[in-house]
Amino acid sequence: MTTYSTEHHDVIVIGGGQAGLSISWHLTRSGIDHVVLERDTIAHEWSDTRWDNFTLVTPNWQCVLPGYRYDGPDPHGFMARDEVYAWLRGYAQTFDPPVREGVQVNDLTVAPTGGFALGTSAGSMHADQVVVAVGGYHIPTIPRFAEKLPASITQLHSAQYRNADDLPEGAVLVVGTGQSGAQIAEDLHLAGRQVHLAVGNAPRVARFYRGRDCVAWLHDMGHYDIPIQDQPGGLGKRENTNHYVTGRDGGRDIDLRAFARQGMGLYGRLIDITSGTAYFDSSLAKSLDHADAVAESIKDSIDAYIAREHLTAPIEERYTPVWQPESEPTELDLAAHGITSVLWSVGFRTDYRWLRAGVFDGEGHPCHNRGVTTTSGLYFLGLPWLHTWGSGRFAAIARDAEYLADRITVAAHTSAVA
């Protein structure tokens, strides 16, 4: 039997969020020796990096983890930030996972004698197998020209935003219209702030259509079970921006055109900031049309499914644009428009500098097949599009965790016999 001078476990899981807890549930049930290392506290991302009025954009009935599912009074509703945090903390209490909070993994290397060597804030460790469950959103992205903003303007990334009252009085420029950018722009708008929004090419989806949540229709259609390699664009799907919609107040569409009618300023993509003036390209009309076209194409698919399955569903009028830009504004004098804050919602970068294994592409993204890498015993879990649309969300983490747990268990038993 091999002895180790450092702490050893058959499996070390890095990350104590929903992905790390899910794989721990399986390993605990199978009697596999393991530990979950969490640099902060269990599920802390849900309380630390979401704004006060955050809600899920997928319905509560899709919240399913191994041995655990949402069983509250509102399955078709959308849990708020604090409810999600409590739900995940409650999950950990159901099986008492071996989580060590406050332990940072500083480096991971392939050990010369086999397995993996980990340097952590709690000392050196060794594992035969490792599951990296730290998600794919590590470093907030802020463009270089942000440095040219006047020092008097407050800058925040979407991960730092909490509520409108925390910002200085005045107008706000929100940059980016993925899920976070569009929802935060709405949050500020509802709080009575004057909002200027730099619109990107993110698609949108209707919240409800023909009597049901669009997520429910797409779920029944099997859309969320299609592997990424069978999706249009294949692995390139991992780079796509999510559709914007909201679960706030029971769920509704986010229609940027309606916001414009109500006084929100819309612009194309922000391309530069010089001498207190923001400059945009002329992509606004094209981006709005693209978002609407995607939403309508999803409705086309739902219509076809209803007809094909001979289902009964109410007929619904299609969306008609409520506003069109009369021109493409390309400049915005920040001071003249009273802008005191800029909120960046342009995504995140991965940061795996601590993980020293040859499993990354040229842009720093893990190379894997359903979370299994070419380095034996090294796995990823909880990444967007790990296998299907739901992999980075509650919808399919249970399935992904079970798939990896089966392989980890076989490898552990094989190693024990050897």
Token pair in block for residue 21: 């807890």
Same-domain pairing of 49 and 11: yes
Domain boundary pick from 301, 316, 344: 344
Q: What is the pLDDT of residue 393?
A: 87
Number of structural domains (the chain) is 2
Backbone conformation region of residue 186, classed left if phi is above 0, alpha if psi is from -120 to 50, else beta: alpha
Same-domain pairing of 360 and 329: no
Same-domain pairing of 46 and 134: yes
Domain assignment present for 2: no
Same-domain pairing of 364 and 243: no
253 Cβ neighbours under 8 A, 6+ residues apart:
204, 206, 207, 245, 246
Rounded to 10 deg, the angle between the 81-95 and 18-30 helix axes is: 10
Domain assignment present for 1: no
DSSP state of 370: T
Same-domain pairing of 390 and 287: no
Q: What is the pLDDT of residue 5?
A: 63
Per-residue pLDDT 10s for the chain (418 aa) are 444 568 999 999 999 999 999 999 999 999 999 999 999 999 999 999 999 999 999 999 999 999 999 999 999 999 999 999 999 999 999 999 999 999 999 999 999 999 999 999 999 999 999 999 999 889 999 999 999 999 999 999 999 999 999 999 999 999 999 999 999 999 999 999 999 999 999 999 999 999 999 999 999 999 999 999 888 876 766 667 789 999 999 999 999 999 999 999 999 999 999 999 999 999 999 999 999 999 999 999 999 999 999 999 999 999 999 999 999 999 999 999 999 999 999 999 999 999 999 999 988 899 999 999 999 999 999 999 999 988 988 989 999 999 999 999 999 877 766 5
Same-domain pairing of 27 and 64: yes
What's the domain range around 312?
Answer: 140-344
Q: What is the pLDDT of residue 416?
A: 66
The answer to whether residues 66 and 22 touch, using CB atoms and an 8 Å cutoff, is yes
Q: Which residues pair with 198 in a beta bridge?
A: 175, 267
Distance CA(68)–CA(58), nearest Å, equals 17
Domain boundary pick from 298, 321, 344: 344
> Which residue is it, tokens 């992999």?
391
C-alpha dihedral (5, 7, 8, 14), degrees to nearest 10 = -140
Burial class of 285 by CB neighbour count within 10 A (0 to 12, 13 to 18, 19+): middle
Residue 148 has, within 13 A of its CA and on its CB side, a CA count of 13
Smallest Cα–Cα separation from 184: which of 280, 248, 243, 136? Answer: 248
Domain with residue 218: its CATH number is: 3.50.50.60
Q: What angle do CA 254, 257, 261 make, to 5 degrees?
A: 115
- The pTM score is 0.94
Residue 74 has, within 13 A of its CA and on its CB side, a CA count of 12
Q: What is the pLDDT of residue 293?
A: 97
Q: What is the pLDDT of residue 417?
A: 60
Same-domain pairing of 309 and 190: yes
Q: What is the pLDDT of residue 2?
A: 47
Same-domain pairing of 196 and 52: no
Distance CA(330)–CA(284), nearest Å, equals 10
Q: What is the pLDDT of residue 1?
A: 40
Rounded to 10 deg, the angle between the 18-30 and 397-417 helix axes is: 40
Same-domain pairing of 184 and 310: yes
Domain assignment present for 157: yes
Q: How many Å is the Cα radius of gyration of the chain?
A: 23
Smallest Cα–Cα separation from 404: which of 385, 384, 387, 389? Answer: 387
Domain assignment present for 274: yes
Domain assignment present for 243: yes
Same-domain pairing of 187 and 133: no
Domain boundary pick from 322, 344, 366: 344
Same-domain pairing of 144 and 114: no
Residue by residue, DSSP assigns 238-302 as: GGPPPPB-B-GGG-B---HHHHHHTT-EEES-EEEEETTEEEE-S-HHHHHHHHHHHHHHHHHHH
What are the phi and psi torsion angles at 38 (to 5°)? -125, 120
Domain assignment present for 64: yes
Same-domain pairing of 93 and 159: no
